[in-house]
Amino acid sequence: MSERTETRSRWRTLARGLADVLLPRACAVCQGLLASGDRGIVCGTCWSRCEAFPEPSCRRCGHPRQPLPGPRVEEPGQDGFASCRWCRRLPPIVRAVRSAVRLDAGSGGAIVHALKYSGWTGVADGMGERMARLVFPVDVVAERVALVPVPLAHTRERERGFNQSQLLAEAVSRLWGLPVWSDVLVRQRQTATQTRLTPSERTSNVSGAFGADPRGAARIRGTHLVLVDDVITTAATLNAAAAALTDRGVRMLSYLTFGRAPDAGDRPSHVSDPD
Ligand SMILES: [Zn+2]
Ligand SMILES: [Zn+2]
């Protein structure tokens, strides 16, 4: 480090320390004071209270596997777990799905809320860091060529001032060294919020909501893309986006989200797995 860089970095540390004293910063999630070691605008406690789904998980969809009822059967090809119900939600073109945190426990839901509804866009970097750490199958890592954020309808993006999926995709792209292709998918119409809908209502609500932008058509043909969204519940939104890309000749897709809602019958995270 040159003397000049060292002096500059010392000044920066001093300035940051002074700013912490003069302008104490609050956590965007719990409103507690940020410690000087906290990076970003979410405190270490809120990050540490994020919960992942329990292992073992399905290698394809990343959802926790369900133990078979009754005593465990030790037979070849039978490992004591039922075949994955969650995978049935996915079209065959989807290779793998990964999510960083569960939304029903810990601080995952509050972190999503801080970004999406309270407008703390700075939270996206820390969320993207956790998404970038997720382990995908080796063929996905070798093949993925770009991140595609799920677009918002223009009116909603104008109201909110940003698209949370775009911010997350940008944060992941810096760590994975992949481009973000925001021009390949368009939202053709605004859809009602999915929150209060049943799984089948969700699917019809978003059916046909996306189209592939002709400008990106040549680029996406034959590729493996990673679709990025803030949360996944029934996969209806991501599947509708996938359908539009499939029509344009995409070969394979993987899904990446920060949060995932649990499914009926999931084991709670504090219950330990058999063996
Ligand atoms: Zn906090
Ligand atoms: Zn699965």
Confidence band of 271 (pLDDT split at 50, 70, 90): very low
* Residue 254, SS3 per DSSP: strand
Q: Give the separation between CA 269 and CA 275, rounded to whole angstroms.
A: 15
Q: Which residue has the higher pLDDT, 45 or 201?
A: 45
- Nearest Cα to 256, choosing from 124, 141, 62, 99? 99
> 47 C-alpha to center of ligand 1: Å?
7
**Gyration radius of the chain's alpha carbons:** 21
Amino acid at 102: R
Q: Which residues surround ligand 1, an ion (CB under 5 A)?
A: 27, 29-30, 32, 43, 46
Over the stretch 89-135, which tens digit does the pLDDT of each residue have?
A: 999 999 999 999 999 999 999 999 999 988 899 999 999 999 999 99
- Nearest Cα to 61, choosing from 83, 80, 77, 79? 83
Looking at all shown ligands, the one closest to residue 62's CA atom is: 2
What pLDDT does 85 receive? 87
Here the tokens at position 146 are 């770009």
Segments making up each domain of the chain, as ranges: 3-46, 52-260
**CATH architecture type of domain 52-260:** 3-Layer(aba) Sandwich (3.40)
Looking at all shown ligands, the one closest to residue 63's CA atom is: 2
Q: Which residue has the higher pLDDT, 228 or 192?
A: 228
What pLDDT does 20 receive? 54
Here the tokens at position 212 are 């592939």
Confidence band of 167 (pLDDT split at 50, 70, 90): very high
Which residues are CB-contacts of 38 (< 8 A; sequence separation ≥ 6)?
27, 44
Looking at all shown ligands, the one closest to residue 44's CA atom is: 1
Q: What is the mean pLDDT of residues 237-258?
A: 95
Q: What is the pTM of this model?
A: 0.84
- What whole-number percentage of the chain has pLDDT above 90? 54
Least confident of 121-135, 226-240, 252-266: 252-266
Report for 57-71, 124-138, 150-164, 200-214: range of highest mean pLDDT: 124-138
- Nearest Cα to 253, choosing from 263, 244, 262, 264? 244
Looking at all shown ligands, the one closest to residue 87's CA atom is: 2
> 192 C-alpha to center of ligand 2: Å?
28
Kindly list the distances between the CA atom of residue 77 and the CA atoms of 55, 66, 162, 235, in Å, as whole numbers in the listed order: 19, 16, 48, 29
Q: Give the separation between CA 153 and CA 20, rounded to whole angstroms.
A: 39
> 76 C-alpha to center of ligand 1: Å?
48
- E strand or H helix that includes residue 9: helix 3-22
DSSP state, residue 65: P
Confidence band of 193 (pLDDT split at 50, 70, 90): confident
Q: What is the mean pLDDT of residues 80-88?
A: 81
Q: Which residues surround ligand 2, an ion (CB under 5 A)?
A: 58, 60-61, 84, 86-87
* Cis geometry, peptide bond prior to residue 149 (ω within 30 degrees of 0): no
Confidence band of 236 (pLDDT split at 50, 70, 90): very high
- E-assigned strand segments in 150-212: 185-187, 210-212
